[in-house]
Structure 1
């Protein structure tokens, strides 16, 4: 594909800073800069595909395998009771590059419907700590499979 002006492509190419959680051959995941809850991670394919329907069939298993490992890390590493895994296709898709949100969830965490309050990390160091903890869990889980 040709060069596309895309913030996620800039992150993938290392031209824009992000707290990386997964750096696989086919996909990367990094902390959302405006998380719903701390640990909120975005999973994106390395190649620019705008929506889920654009993602080649042969990439589905691997791509959602990364999402599954991230969802598990929300519980095992961050102590969340569960996770919220979602994506938008075009409508409400803030960046036109396929991405899956993997968000740690707990009962009565304040997330209701689709009116979601955003949070900030207290510091860059806190964000780096969340990314490192998730990265360690996800890369360790992928080696164990």
Structure 2
């Protein structure tokens, strides 16, 4: 399962092998509404339904009822410089159904408190831009020079 080479095991030497999986699972916010007990993941192309189920049950102790996978085609875009078509890699999507008693809610990554702070910071930036514009036009012969840079 691992692409890393390790020294051969020799009797008397300490065991230096650590096996890391080549799989990845990325939690995705679904583009279509899903039931409360369905979670969507982007997984590596080599993973099967059984691998996904075992991965979640053994490592994260999540009870899994059903797994449905399908392969989505990567987007086809036009290149900026040559004008030729470039296709992104295909990827596999897994829909994991939890038992009916379990529910999953996607975490709120951008709470209102932080949004309010960002709004305040944007207001400060706008005020600073207005001050800059007013101070920039004071000396017509030295455009763009700040007012504190006087002779």
TM-score by length of 2: 0.29
Structure 1 or 2: larger helix share? 1
Name the structure, 1 or 2, with higher relative contact order (CA <8 Å, separation 6+).
1
